[in-house]
């Protein structure tokens, strides 16, 4: 049980990016459950957690890293920034239901322990993760148009 900013050095980029996406989906789904239970600030609290995680990654980038780790962490930062923006949008729109299109239209990764596989969901489509990976590509930003 290592902190995220430590275990990212133990695995290849494909694994940390996929794992981070699975955790993001799990955390957001958990925030929806907390909202249903009456905790109206669940997304605000999660947004604070996202900022802490981003700051930890930024601090890593300020240190001495080899080129491969720097590119891996930079890519993870960009993915995390997009995730933060999604949560900010849901906060602004006051999204409180897991079935709302704003959330359902996001690419959501989840791990199914029954068949030991990762699935990518978007809207009502579900795809088994087939280990597709484009590598650590330099990205300037992820916008709603490039999402």
Which of 58, 65, 71 has its CA nearest to residue 16? 71
Cα distances (angstroms) measured from residue 77 to each of 50, 70, 125: 11, 10, 27
pLDDT value of residue 141: 61
Name which residue leads in pLDDT, 50 or 135.
50
pLDDT digits (tens, 9 = 90+) for 12-24: 999 999 999 999 9
Q: Which of 13-22, 30-39, 130-139 has the lowest mean pLDDT?
A: 130-139
> Into which CATH architecture does domain 4-128 fall?
Up-down Bundle (1.20)
Span 109-130, average pLDDT: 95
pLDDT value of position 1: 82
Whole-number Å distance between alpha carbons of 27 and 118: 16
Mean pLDDT of all residues in 33-39: 97
Q: How far apart are CA 78 and CA 75, in angstroms?
A: 5
State the average pLDDT for the chain: 92
* Residue 78 in tokens: 């960009």
**Token digits of residue 60:** 């890593």
Residue partners of 27: CB distance under 8 A and separation at least 6: 46, 49
Report whether pLDDT(123) > 70. Answer: yes
pTM for this entry: 0.90
Query: What pLDDT shows up at residue 133?
Result: 66
Share of the chain above pLDDT 70, in %: 90
**Please, what's the largest Cα pairwise distance for the chain?**
46
């Amino acid at each position: 049980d290592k902190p995220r900013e430590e275990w990212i050095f133990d695995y290849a980029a494909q694994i940390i990016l996929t794992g981070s996406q699975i955790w993001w989906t799990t955390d957001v789904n958990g925030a929806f459950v907390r909202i249903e239970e009456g905790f109206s600030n669940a997304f605000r609290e999660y947004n604070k957690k996202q900022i802490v995680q981003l700051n930890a990654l930024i601090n890593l980038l300020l240190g001495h890293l080899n080129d491969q780790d720097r590119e891996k962490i930079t890519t993870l930062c960009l993915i995390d920034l997009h995730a933060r923006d999604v949560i900010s949008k849901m906060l602004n729109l006051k999204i409180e239901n897991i079935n709302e299109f704003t959330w359902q239209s996001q690419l959501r990764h989840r791990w199914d322990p029954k068949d030991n596989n990762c699935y990518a969901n978007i809207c009502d489509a579900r795809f088994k993760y087939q280990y597709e990976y484009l590598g650590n590509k330099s990205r300037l930003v992820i916008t709603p148009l490039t999402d």
